[in-house]
Chains A and B, each alone.
Chain A
Amino acid sequence: MSTHSTGPAPYPRAEVSPPSGELFPHKHLLGIWGLDPTAIKHLLDTADGYAEQNRQAKKSTDKCEGLTQINLFFENSTRTLMSFEIAGKRLGMEVTSMSTGTSSIKKGETLLDTAATLNAMRPDVLVMRHADSGAVKLLSEKMDCAVINAGDGRSEHPTQALLDALTIRRRKGRIHGQTIVISGDVAHSRVARSNIYLLNAMGARVRLVAPSTLLPKDVDRLGVEICHRMEEGLEGADVVMMLRLQQERMQGAFLPSLREYYQFWGLTHEKLKYAKEDVLVMHPGPMNRGVEISSDVADDLDRSAIEEQVEMGVAVRMACLDILTRGLREEDGQ
């Protein structure tokens, strides 16, 4: 197999409990980068519990009653925003959402002014999405409450990586040792970055498959294998995660055409034959059917975990909201 690099993860992380004894010793969830396996495992374990709860008739608790959650989305989103809203409500939070059309950013207010304004309203959790890498971190520096990154630029989308990991863990039993292929527009994808960090931290073998115009420079140094041909890349894969290809990248600048992309990198049953028999197919949505994934693969009940990912999304976000507000509720971090 012509993989270009199999470099080690740049910063080895030890799987030990932190000296404080706290399993998630962070104020915010800004990204997966910097989380140790203990913290990730704690988030996943907690989410697992919520996944069960969400399948009961009574899905809500009053765990976070009286707390305020603000969802601040500077970029259009329906599924992530709704997922965070439902997660907050199921925990008994007061949830308010604001998206870009109604915000004062359009009126020229700077991000830090917005932060100061929101902070004055004394929320307990702020969930934020922004089109610029690093924007959520910048805002978190001015907030007293916990901040959850719901996606910033091309940087990170930690809850997506967590829900992907939870889905894999539930379907495959574990993440460690799995060969996981991430295919598509890695260069412009925050989902890919968060997934790379998380899967590496948890001991998976991560392989990127994409044309080189869609791979960022030196990405092999993040501890992944690189492959340019689908047939090679899928060999022995336990999981294949497809990424959404943005419309604006399809027309000439990065790729010659949609048709050509589908032929070489679109996920079809034909190409899936190279992967393991029980390969799990994932997609963060929304899908471009017939571009990065064929309809029959997307709808293949045995292999596709796409709907389960959405389901796990709510559970993971409940876990994040729960864990980050434990201090406020004077609940033990354990």
Chain B
Amino acid sequence: MSMTAYINARLIDPASGLDTKGTLVTEGEKIKAFGADETAPEGAKVVDCKGRILCPGFIDMRAHRVDAEAALKGGITTVILQPDQTTVIDTDAVVERIRRRSEDSETVNVFPMGTATRGMQGSQIAEIGQMMQSGAVGFTDCRTPVSDSQVMRRLLEYSGHFDALIVQFAEDKSLASGAVAHEGEIATRLGLSGVPAAAEVIQIERDCRLAELTDARIHFALISSREGVDAIRSAKKRGVRATCSVAPHYLHLNDNALEGYRTFAKVRPPLRSEEDRLALIAGLADGTIDTLVSDHDPKSADVKRLPFGQAAEGVVGFETMLPLALAQVHAGKLELMTLLRALTSTPADLLRLPMGRLKEGVQADLVIFDPEKPWRISQDDLVSSAKNMPFDTLPVQGQVWQTVVAGKPLYTAA
């Protein structure tokens, strides 16, 4: 089997805390050896990393489209597909088809999440066990919270049999009804209807109580407010098995981005105040927020270039996830190791996936990136299937140089 030696790398393994200069050797699809003293074996193909960071490929727990090319460009080697597809992922057959397609092709690994309730209707529990057997790694109704407390309780109770992860969208349905922005000064001035942070907290508090009652795991999809972070923090302190994610745009923007009715900044939950933004960064830094996700959601100009209230929600996030998150590292607000853990081993552990760590014998899913390299985000350079993002022309630092999936370099920067 062919071997490749990645030399002159800064090897980082967030799971073990390893951070050292050294070499990593892959053989076929797997990691063979790595370490400071490792050298390129005879006959191995040598890749000079030139001091760049080499770490496990990123696992993106929340994407609405696979968009493989964009994912690879962003250093993402595993995409967790949300069930809100044209054919809603709510049966084992659909899960199996997606898994098989992923296994049969040389591209990013794709694992779907199934719906938590049938057809995301919120009334009947979906076939969690069967979907899990077929390869589903979590269960969520996407942007529809499971509102009925009894259904949610049973869902959590039942999921325990399979150690399945239930992912809840933290938003009280009726408080959020009709809202398109964060309830505050900006929404008031722009004349947009807003949703208060309380909508998020109410959902988190209820579900944490239910998780406590049922001793189940619960994950909150996207946290957007200071109060939300506080609620998770106190639940964790009580011993609730609650975890949560945040996406880079919530760390980088506040609701000022809506100025001029910029629909590219329309996301759900909405971008909130500066105070919320800072609390989210602090939450990620202190581990209250467990994982960083892209929430990659390509939307065509047809559904974005509409009056704000009618425009679709969502941003493309694969290609900008790393540099936007690194901005917080460069600003001294986030440890690099913490960030990488939120992108690799933590999502892997939550989803019970074997990847996300440097370990002999595991599949060689790797990303090699330069954390300092300055560049400018440009809509024209995106390879995503759509260009909806509010970061055009933003100068950033940190760029992926190479992405390796199952031992094969599938993306290398020009």
Contacts and interface: CB of A to CB of B under 8 A. Distances in A.
Given A218-B185, A222-B189, A112 B260 contact: no
Interface residues of A, number: 25
Contacts of A156: 191
Contacts of A135: 307
Given A218-B188, A221-B185, A132 B308 contact: yes
A153 B187 contact: no
Contact of B261 (A10, A138, A216): A138
Contacts of A154: 191-193
Nearest to A220: B185
A315 B309 CA distance: 33
Contact of A218 (B184, B190, B260, B306): B184
A133 B185 contact: no
A157 to B, nearest CB: 10
B191 A190 contact: yes
A216 B187 contact: yes
Contact of A110 (B188, B260, B306): B306
A153 B196 contact: no
A111 interface: yes
Contact of B192 (A133, A137, A138): A133
Leading 5 A-B pairs by shortest Cβ distance: A134-B261, A154-B191, A132-B307, A155-B191, A135-B307
B194 interface: yes
Contact of B307 (A10, A133, A193, A218): A133
Nearest to B262: A134
Contacts of B187: 216-217
B100 interface: no
B183 interface: yes
Contacts of B306: 110-111, 138
A33 interface: yes
Nearest to A133: B191
Interface string B80-108: 00000000000000000000000000000
A116 to B, nearest CB: 12
Nearest to B310: A132
Nearest to A189: B191
Contacts of A111: 306-307
Contacts of B196: 217
A219 interface: yes
A137 B185 contact: no
Interface string A128-140: 0010111101100
12 contacts: A10-B185, A133-B192, A133-B307, A134-B308, A134-B309, A138-B305, A154-B191, A154-B193, A155-B191, A217-B187, A218-B184, A222-B188
Given A133-B261, A134-B261, A217-B183, A33 B307 contact: no
Nearest to A156: B191
Contacts of A137: 260-261
Interface residues of B, number: 21
Nearest to B308: A134
Nearest to A154: B191
A193 B305 contact: no
A218 B310 CA distance: 24
Interface in B161-208: 183-185, 187-194, 196
Contact of A153 (B260, B302, B305, B309): B309
A222 B261 CA distance: 18
Given A133-B261, A137-B261, A216 B308 contact: no
Contacts of A190: 191
Contacts of B189: 33, 193, 222
A217 B194 contact: yes
B96 to A, nearest CB: 37
Nearest to A112: B305
A155 B193 CA distance: 11
Contacts of A193: 189, 191
A134 B194 contact: no
B345 to A, nearest CB: 40
A159 to B, nearest CB: 16
A112 B183 CA distance: 28
Interface string A141-168: 0000000000011111000000000000
Interface string B125-163: 000000000000000000000000000000000000000
A255 to B, nearest CB: 17
